[in-house]
Amino acid sequence: MRTSHWIRTRLPWAALILCAASLFAQELKPVPLPSPQTQIGRPLMQVLKDRRSTRTFDPEKLPAQVLSNLLWAAFGVNRPEAGKRTAPSAMDWQETDIYVATADGLYIYDAKANQLIPVVHDDVRGQTGTQPFVKDAPLNLVYVADLARTRSSSADRDMYVAADTGFIAQNVYLFCASEGLATVVRGSIDRPALAKAMRLRPDQRIMLAQTVGYPRK
């Protein structure tokens, strides 16, 4: 009698908790990206001619292949034997993490494994900047310097970290110009609010954000 009461009252809850736990574990699994297509792209001089900032975006999501290509161009591994990247970094610190904010959640680009590591499942796009277009554009990249990977005694550290971000942002500009995507790099960010939403540690510094999407028709 007692057992049947337990089954009726507790089992549905136990099943629900187990189901939620397994969904949560699944959702926190890294998301593999397709291999980047390194043979594509328009001639460099034409791309430089077209590079510009654009602030109107179509809400259409970017396909996984385009996202993979974009992130590889931004700061992917281009010399796997040495672990080196498509953008330079002072002292080869490689301290910049690219956070990827989409409608599905917030991820970190793991360049070495070519995958996205989930951080939070909330849509934080609207918090990545102060301008209205950021919440509807399909993708906002947030460049975060992890100061734990730098040498704090370096007098030029802040300048180096800022310069490192600039190289990545320019790679994204050039990729977008090549592929007909719209983009704008942004410094106008409520950094304390965004850091909280992104669950950053105190030694992680939000440098810039960059919105990417198809140009609005």
Sites of contact with ligand FMN (CB under 6 A):
52-53, 55, 131, 184-188, 208
- Rounded to a whole number of angstroms, the minimum distance from the CB of residue 130 to ligand FMN is 7
Give the Cα separation of 26 and 169 in Å (integer): 32
Nearer to ligand FMN, 33 or 137 (CB): 137
- Rounded to a whole number of angstroms, the minimum distance from the CB of residue 129 to ligand FMN is 7
Nearer to ligand FMN, 116 or 144 (CB): 144
- Rounded to a whole number of angstroms, the minimum distance from the CB of residue 134 to ligand FMN is 9
Return all residues near 208 (Cβ < 8 A) that are at least 6 apart. Answer: 142, 143, 165, 169, 185, 186, 187, 189
Return all residues near 47 (Cβ < 8 A) that are at least 6 apart. Answer: 41, 174, 177, 178
Q: What is the number of alpha carbons within 13 Å of residue 47 lying toward its C-beta?
A: 17
- Rounded to a whole number of angstroms, the minimum distance from the CB of residue 166 to ligand FMN is 7
Nearer to ligand FMN, 141 or 184 (CB): 184
